[in-house]
Amino acid sequence: MNICIVGNGAIAKVHAQAVIKTEGVNICGICDVDKSRADSGAAEYGASAYYDYADVVADKNIDGIHICTPHYLHYEMIKVAADAGKKIVCEKPLVMKQGEFDALLSEYADADILPVLQNRTNRSVCEMKKIIDTDANLGKLIGAKGILTWHRTADYYNSAAWRGTVAYEGGGVLINQAVHLLDLMIYTGGEVAAVSAEAANNSLRGVIETEDTIDARLKFKNGADGIFYATNAYCEDSPFQMELKFENAVLSYYKNALYRDDKLICKDSDSFVGKKYWGNGHEKVISDYYCHNIGLRPIDIQNTMYTMFAIYNSAANGAVTTDVKTFVRK
C-alpha cells in the first residue's frame, strides 16, 4: 500500500510516524505547494516530492492520500481523490461547510474516506465508553460538560494567511481546536438534538475574523443537558476536561486520565508524537484503517459535524435555539 501525504505541516509528521509503524504501508510521496517543504519531507522519508495535487491523484502507484492541508482545501481534495478511487485519510475538520458535508454523505457515501478524530482511541476514552455501554449501575445520564482553555497568539495566526479567516478556516477555536472535545462529548454522552450558543473574540480583535471563545448549551437526545466552553484566550494549553454526570456516578476525563467519583480508573499512554494534547491515537486509527479496515466513516460523525454547524448557526443568530440536523441515508 503506497500513500502520499499532502500538506507537509506539523500534523503531517504525526501521520508519517503512524504510517511508518503500520505494516504493509509505505510513504511514497510528500506533496506541498511549497517546493522546499515538499523536498524536505520527501528527503526525510525517502519518498518522491510532488508540488501539484493533480499529479498525486493521477499517479496510479499511489493507493491512498492523507489530507493534512488547510481546512478550505479538504472538500475539493476529498472529491477529486474519491473520484480517482483512492483511499482517503483526512484531518479534522473533514469539511468546512454544512453543504459540503451533506454532499459527502449523499454523493460520496461509498467512497473510502477516514475522518481523523483520534482522541476516541485514547485509553481513558475507550474505558469510559466501555463503562457507559456495559454498567447499568450508572443510571441515566443527567448532565455533561466539556471545557477547553488553550492559548493562541497573534503570531500563531499571522504565520499562515488562512488561519483566523471565515473563508479559509471556517471558524476559530471550535472548528480547529475544540471539535475533538465536542466529538468526545457526543461519542460518550450520546447524540445532541439542539443547541444554543454564543461566540466572541475576546483577545484577538483586529487579528482574526473568527471566534476565540465559544459557549454552548447542548440538549442531548437522551434528555441530558450539557454545557460546552472553549477558548483560545487562556495563558497556556491547559488539559481539557470532560465530565458526565449520571444518576449514580460521575465519570470525569481530565489531565489525560479517567476518574469515577474521583477514583482514578486509568491513564492515557505517555507516548505521543507532536503535541501532547493531540494524544497518541493517530497510530491506532491509521493502523486499524489499513490493516483491519476498521475506522470511522463520514456518516459515523454526522452528529458531531451537524452539532458544530448548529453551534455556529446559533451563535450567528443571537443564541437562538437551533435543532441539529439528522441526515437520513436513502
Last residue of a domain, one of 115, 141, 165: 115
> Which pLDDT tens digit goes with each residue over 260-273?
999 999 999 876 65
Give the pLDDT confidence score for residue 271 in this predicted structure.
Answer: 67
Which pLDDT band holds residue 277 (cuts at 50, 70, 90)? Answer: low
* Together in a domain, 106 and 126: no
Alpha carbons 143 and 146: distance in angstroms, whole number:
11
What is the distance between the terminal CA atoms of the chain, rounded to a whole angstrom? 32
Query: What H or E segment, with its residue span, contains residue 114?
Result: strand 113-115
* Together in a domain, 106 and 128: no
Give the pLDDT confidence score for residue 280 in this predicted structure.
Answer: 73
Alpha carbons 178 and 27: distance in angstroms, whole number:
29
Which pLDDT band holds residue 327 (cuts at 50, 70, 90)? Answer: low
Give the pLDDT confidence score for residue 183 in this predicted structure.
Answer: 98
CATH number at residue 129: 3.30.360.10
Residues 6+ apart with CB under 8 A from 317: none
* Together in a domain, 258 and 171: yes
The answer to whether position 275 is within a domain reads no
Burial of residue 199 (CB within 10 Å: 0-12, 13-18, 19+) is buried
HEC letters along 22-79: CCCCEEEEEECCCHHHHHHHHHHHCCEEECCHHHHHHCCCCCEEEECCCHHHHHHHHH
- Arithmetic mean of pLDDT, 297-324: 96
pLDDT at 274 over 60: no
Alpha carbons 6 and 182: distance in angstroms, whole number:
26
- Arithmetic mean of pLDDT, 232-261: 96
- Separation in Å, CA 234 to CA 158, 212, 237, 260, 300: 18, 10, 7, 27, 32
pTM of the model: 0.96
The answer to whether position 96 is within a domain reads yes
Give Rg (Cα) of the chain: 20
> Which pLDDT tens digit goes with each residue over 102-151?
999 999 999 999 999 999 999 999 999 999 999 999 999 999 999 999 99
Alpha carbons 301 and 11: distance in angstroms, whole number:
21
| Residue 150 DSSP SS3 | coil
* Together in a domain, 100 and 78: yes
> Which pLDDT tens digit goes with each residue over 31-69?
999 999 999 999 999 999 999 999 999 999 999 999 999
- Arithmetic mean of pLDDT, 193-212: 96
CATH number at residue 25: 3.40.50.720
The answer to whether position 13 is within a domain reads yes
